[in-house]
Structure 1
Amino acid sequence: MKTIFCVILLLFFYIDRVWGMNHIDSLYAEYNRTTSSARIAIANRLYEELYRREHIDTLMQLSGKMERSVADAYMMEAMSEYYYDCGEFAQSISAATKAAHIFEQRQMNEDAATCYSVLCIAYHRIGNMGEALNYGRKNYEYDLQTGDDDRLSSSLNNLATLYLGNRQPEMAEKYILRAIEIEQQLDRPRKLATRFGIASEIYTALGQYEKAVEMGEKAYRLDIEGERELQAAKRLSQIAAAYEGWNKIDQAETYIRKAIGLLQKHNEQVSLTISYNLLGRVLRQKRAFHEAQTSLLKAAAMAEQTQNSIQLLKAYDELAELLESDLPREALNYKKKSYDLQRKIFREESERQMNNFSVQYETAEKELHIQKQQSEIERTKLHRMLFALSTVFALLLCGMLYLLLRQRRKRNRQLAEANATKDKLFSIISHDLKAPVIAQKTTLDTLIANYDAYETDNLLDYLERFRMASESQMGLLQNLLSWAQVQTGRAKYAPIPFDITRTIAETADLYGISSENKHIRITTEMPERCYVMGDREMIATVLRNLINNAVKFSHPDSEIHLSAVDRPASVRISVKDSGTGLTETQVEAIRGGVVSGGSSAGTQGERGSGLGLIICKDFLRRNGSSLVIESRNGEGTCMSFELNKVNC
């Protein structure tokens, strides 16, 4: 009863698979026949069927607005993967080639690269190593440029398979380890299982059988957890190959027979061909020659049917060794078939890779030698390409890091300046602006409360205090207005020719009373007229601040000297006093543009905001000039700047 159930179950899976294949083929035929709007609906049904049966990884929806040729290309690309899974490699190559041509014409590079991937593995199956490597490298180069890890993992897997088939397992190992690393980061168990499976085959070829078994078992566990029975069967075959190489024949036979049972259930021709070849090799080592021959003949028949040249070549070689002692004539026949097939495979690769360099292969050893030389050339080219790409990538990375660090420093500096400006503004509003207002109010309150009791001298003293507070407040408000215009970008630069001599005289007059009250003489040394180019209002603001500072920090009974000295192309304007002077620390702070927490008091206790020199520096910069400070603590200060001369 149990046997009947198993047979029915196997029959069910076989019928389902055959019906699925026929259904897919009929849908594709219907799509090609249809020209109406229903064509897109048929295409999407076909996509759903291909996705459901795991022939494609991504479910796509075509649109009715899509150009017919592009829709055809997408369908041919999907069908090429279906044909490959069915072992119909010639049809797979034909469909993928046509699709790639359409995508290339329209510069749809990502879709073209997907076709390259199919062409790579399909050409490898039929033994055309040259074309397989050509498309494998094109696909890899595109994926490397785009930096798409999803695609890059697949192209690395394909290259690993190619180099393994080309008897270069060392190169294959490098590619598959990178693919495994990517899949572990992306956390995709299904594809990671595939990568572990290829790694198992590579380590078998390298003779590292324990590691090969370990990789195969990792792949098998992932497929079992994901309920992927067909893929798990392939992993059993890979584990069996590792045990066979390890000379653990009993374990190898157990695994390969279990794999064949599952593969027959799914009628998977490509993997069955590989498994029958392996079973034949295992049975030959167990000296079960008849069973071994039967298995190898099955593998050869399947390989011929699917045009799988690589597996066909292996079957011929195994049959030749198996029959050599008992049936030498038959063995010689298989040796000849193997030689002819090997010669065909390597000739095709040589003609493509070496620019039609013609050579006649006299022996199989000579063909193998040429193949190794060509593989070395391709490996060198690939290394150079990878080195160049790595170098460019490293340079770009260093450049980006440098720019990011530079931008970060600039942003931090701007934030520090903004914080200092904010703190200064709060200080001015809370203290500097409030102080003269309080002084004015206090003076007025005192005057009003004691008006009848004041004599003339006392009254004048209070009025003088009131005037000084008003002057301080007015100067502060002017500087606040100028500073606000600078900070908000509303201080527009409007240069005109103007008489600097007149501007200096008018500005000095504003401080006549202040200087007289401190018994300070203001002297000038200027031409009668001297025209310069600049923004007159900005330069007047600069002069007001410089003269105000000179009066503020000059001792009573001293002198302030204003000068405008004619130079070949400019005029040097100077404001010199013999007051308290500045320390080196104060000079460096002003030159560095640091907004301090307040300003020093004048010789008679005058207060300021500390904004004046900051505004001077900014306005002079906008006029193409700069503030020059010459000062010694206790010996006075000379502040000067230059403007372009127009006519003096």
Structure 2
Amino acid sequence: MNVFLRFALLFLFPAFSVASQQTADSLLVVFEDARSSSQRRDAANRLMTFLYEERSSEWNHPFTAHTPEDSLRMLVYLEAGTYFYEHSAFKQSIDCMKRCYRWAQTLHDTVRLEDVLHVMSASYTRLGMYNEAFEQMQTLRTIAEQKNDPVMLRRACNSMANICHHMRNDSLALTLYIKAIDIARKQKDEQALAVRLGNLGGMYADMRQPEKALPLLEEALALDMKNGWTDKIPIRQLSIGNAYLNMNEWGKAENYYRRVIEALRETTRDKVSLAIAYGQLGWLKQLLSRPDEAETYYKEAEKIAKEIGALAIERSCQEGLYTLYKEKNPALALGYLERNFILSDSLYRMETTQQMNNLRVQYETAEKELQIQKQQSEIEQTKQHRTLFALSTVFALLLCGMLYLLLRQRRKRNRQLAEANATKDKLFSIISHDLKSPVIAQKATLDTLIANYDAYETDDLLYYLERFRIASESQMGLLQNLLSWAQVQTGKAKFSPLPFDITHTIAETANLYAISSENKNIRITTEMPERCYVVGDREMIATVLRNLINNAVKFSHPDSEIHISLVSKTTSACISIKDSGTGMTERQVKAIRAGATSDISSAGTQGEKGSGLGLVICKDFLRRNGSHLVIESRNGEGTCMSFELNKVNF
């Protein structure tokens, strides 16, 4: 039996066996509880052997150590889910199929996906969950459209029509059945065509349109008999009997019903068709006023319906039994009537109507989505025609881009060489001019002292020695900045951030300028906590502080004050050096922010010289420490320089 007939048969006619179902349950539990691959493989083989012996599986090849784990799980859940469906354990079947669906998706196995979706849809239909059943087939239909697979599309349309037929949504079911038949005829697939013709003919028979039903059913029966598909023959005969019953040809109808009973009475499958045949014979005998025979057939149909949980058939039997008993046994008739009311509860009918409407909306929405997908596919094909041109265009653009990048890289190198030359020229200029000035001053002072040593008084000596000291300090500060600047320019300035006490560093640096500030009668005051630990390169921060304090002393007027403050915040510490000296012009502030040196160098209040390198070094060292220099200055009113460092809390 091929896959198509197998699942088409399952959809309509599940059987039932409680004992074998419990065995399958226990074997599946052992499989799921297995902890190792070998244990899981052994459990899978035991379960598959049981299913094969029960004729619920065609898989008789044992799993080996070479079987991939994902393939093993997918096949086990597929066969177990099929088995549970056959035995009317629909919820367990759905659970297995959901797991199989995940593995099939992982493996991109569309063949298994198709089987899974069919069984899930059939199980949902049996549970009365028509929306969920329809969604599974709609998913399959979408996959079929995307793959342009007419066989898969045919099966999806047929199954969707079956669901709509169950829901009594006849107009949508007819549309889908006819579409499935057209596809089968175009594909010349007699097996599929027979199933579709039988389904449509059976629907026309249920709709009491026998003149439309009989030609379709007889064509389907002829195909079944021609190809030897014996399992489908009772289904066709049952539908033909219904058509003759609607035509009031009682003898022909009874003849076909008895053929169905004779073919199915001794089997364990297709109990649904058997129950329907008995029920239809009961109705036929009731129409012929043969109540005893009708009662016998109704009760046989009711018995089978209860065994397999076919509520619709059971309800029909109870309607017939109520009619038979209402005259001769009203009490018994009332019991059948009450049971019929329970099965025909109005809430169930309302939910069914809502589901029918939902199905139609879903179908129409899906049709529109498929049209959109087709349009998008046409657009994609049009785009593909332009691909060659686009690729050549992209290639040309890439070539131009490469040429542009090469040219840009060349310009960048030229700019770097120009900057290096400018740096070299700046260095030589500072060495030849700025460094020469304090040396000349020192030499002139020494020459004067040596030439007139005997003539100088103590005060005169102190005056010339002071001038010599100032020139030496200027020379030392310039040498330190030249060294730092050279390290920055050559990339040799190493950055070593560690926690340190910034208050100690500030105090230590301020002490270096105690003498020079006293000589100008400048008072240096500090305002900071006893301890404050920050993270940074201590030597770089000390260099920054030296330059900022030196500038404050250099540009402060005699008899003034320099205030150094440290404000400890939650996550940072802010250090500021404020003076009331000469200040800076707006142009000088902009030049400092731009990183220039030529426009910011100026003499101090007592003629102290500078190179302009100090603030440039400060900015670079602060940047490396994750900070930046904040400048607040007005010409003639003083300057405030500040920066922040990340704080460490111990």
Which band: TM-score by shorter chain?
0.5 to 0.7
Offset from partner CA, 1:475-497 (integer Å, 9 cap, x none): 444446789866xxxx4536589
Q: 1:553–1:603: 8 Å Cα contact kept in structure 2?
A: no
Give the direction of change, closer, same or farther, for the CA distance of 1:502–1:553 in structure 2 (3 Å limit).
closer
Distance 2:523 2:482 in 1: 26
Q: 2:123–2:133: 8 Å Cα contact kept in structure 1?
A: yes
Q: 2:552–2:578: 8 Å Cα contact kept in structure 1?
A: no
Q: 1:259–1:275: 8 Å Cα contact kept in structure 2?
A: yes
Distance 2:96 2:344 in 1: 21
Aligned counterparts, 1:183-198, within 5 A:
183-185=144-146, 188-198=149-159
Distance 2:569 2:431 in 1: 54
Which residue in the other structure is 1:539 paired with? Answer: 538
Matched, 1:580 2:584: yes
Q: 1:236–1:256: 8 Å Cα contact kept in structure 2?
A: yes
Give the direction of change, closer, same or farther, for the CA distance of 1:641–1:207 in structure 2 (3 Å limit).
closer
Shift of 1:336: 1.8
Which residue in the other structure is 2:166 paired with? Answer: 205
Distance 1:480 1:145 in 2: 62
Equivalent position SS for 2:564:
strand
Q: 2:137–2:156: 8 Å Cα contact kept in structure 1?
A: yes
Matched, 1:319 2:265: no
Which residue in the other structure is 1:460 paired with? Answer: none
Q: 2:165–2:203: 8 Å Cα contact kept in structure 1?
A: yes
Which residue among 493, 504, 520 is the counterpart of 2:498?
493
Matched, 1:437 2:399: no
Partner amino acid, structure 2, of 1:123: H
Give the direction of change, closer, same or farther, for the CA distance of 1:557–1:627 in structure 2 (3 Å limit).
closer
Equivalent position SS for 1:71:
helix
Aligned counterparts, 1:124-273, within 5 A:
124=88, 131-137=89-95, 139-140=97-98, 143=101, 157-165=118-126, 169=130, 172-185=133-146, 188-223=149-184, 228-273=189-234
Give the direction of change, closer, same or farther, for the CA distance of 1:235–1:299 in structure 2 (3 Å limit).
same
Offset from partner CA, 1:139-195 (integer Å, 9 cap, x none): 447757997696776555434324544566566445543443455456554443322
Which residue in the other structure is 1:525 paired with? Answer: 525
Which residue in the other structure is 1:113 paired with? Answer: 77
Distance 1:281 1:347 in 2: 19
Q: Identify the range of structure 1 (187-196 vs 556-565) with the bigger mean alpha-carbon deviation.
A: 556-565
Q: Identify the range of structure 1 (632-641 vs 367-376) with the bigger mean alpha-carbon deviation.
A: 367-376
Matched, 1:280 2:241: yes
Give the direction of change, closer, same or farther, for the CA distance of 1:341–1:251 in structure 2 (3 Å limit).
same
Partner amino acid, structure 2, of 1:606: G
Distance 2:310 2:426 in 1: 105
Offset from partner CA, 1:493-523 (integer Å, 9 cap, x none): 36589942564258869x99xx99xx99986
Partner amino acid, structure 2, of 1:132: F
Give the direction of change, closer, same or farther, for the CA distance of 1:609–1:253 in structure 2 (3 Å limit).
farther
Distance 2:52 2:43 in 1: 14
Equivalent position SS for 1:324:
helix
Aligned counterparts, 1:414-563, within 5 A:
429=416, 434-441=421-428, 474-479=483-488, 491-493=496-498, 499-501=504-506, 503-505=508-510, 524-525=524-525, 533=533, 538-545=537-544, 547-548=546-547, 556=555, 561=562, 563=564
Aligned counterparts, 1:24-35, within 5 A:
none
Offset from partner CA, 1:320-342 (integer Å, 9 cap, x none): 22333337243332112112223
Q: 1:565–1:572: 8 Å Cα contact kept in structure 2?
A: yes
Q: 2:241–2:257: 8 Å Cα contact kept in structure 1?
A: yes
Distance 2:595 2:94 in 1: 72
Query: Which structure 1 segments of 5+ residues have no match?
Result: 1-12, 18-62, 86-91, 100-105, 125-130, 350-359, 384-421, 448-455, 458-464, 591-595
Which residue in the other structure is 1:344 paired with? Answer: 307
Matched, 1:299 2:260: yes
Distance 1:133 1:529 in 2: 74
Distance 1:146 1:495 in 2: 62
Give the direction of change, closer, same or farther, for the CA distance of 1:646–1:348 in structure 2 (3 Å limit).
closer
Matched, 1:71 2:29: no
Partner amino acid, structure 1, of 2:525: E
Which residue in the other structure is 1:37 paired with? Answer: none
Distance 2:345 2:552 in 1: 89
Equivalent position SS for 2:498:
coil
Offset from partner CA, 1:453-473 (integer Å, 9 cap, x none): xxx99xxxxxxx999998776
Partner amino acid, structure 2, of 1:257: E
Distance 2:489 2:337 in 1: 93
Give the direction of change, closer, same or farther, for the CA distance of 1:608–1:638 in structure 2 (3 Å limit).
closer
Shift of 1:236: 1.9
Give the direction of change, closer, same or farther, for the CA distance of 1:550–1:172 in structure 2 (3 Å limit).
same
Q: 2:74–2:103: 8 Å Cα contact kept in structure 1?
A: no
Give the direction of change, closer, same or farther, for the CA distance of 1:348–1:563 in structure 2 (3 Å limit).
same
Which residue in the other structure is 2:381 paired with? Answer: none
Give the direction of change, closer, same or farther, for the CA distance of 1:347–1:256 in structure 2 (3 Å limit).
closer
What's the TM-score once normalised by structure 2's chain length? 0.55
Distance 1:503 1:234 in 2: 100
Matched, 1:331 2:294: yes
Shift of 1:312: 1.5
Q: 1:428–1:609: 8 Å Cα contact kept in structure 2?
A: no
Offset from partner CA, 1:69-125 (integer Å, 9 cap, x none): 433434555676x6479xxxxxx9xx9xxx9xxxxxx9x86555324421343024x
Partner amino acid, structure 2, of 1:218: K
Partner amino acid, structure 1, of 2:622: C
What's the TM-score once normalised by structure 1's chain length? 0.55
Equivalent position SS for 1:636:
strand
Partner amino acid, structure 1, of 2:278: Y
Distance 1:374 1:68 in 2: 50
Partner amino acid, structure 2, of 1:574: S
Distance 2:258 2:310 in 1: 26
Partner amino acid, structure 2, of 1:602: I
Aligned counterparts, 1:364-403, within 5 A:
364-368=336-340, 370=342
Shift of 1:293: 2.3
Give the direction of change, closer, same or farther, for the CA distance of 1:466–1:630 in structure 2 (3 Å limit).
closer
Shift of 1:568: 13
Identity over aligned residues, as a percent? 12
Equivalent position SS for 1:193:
helix
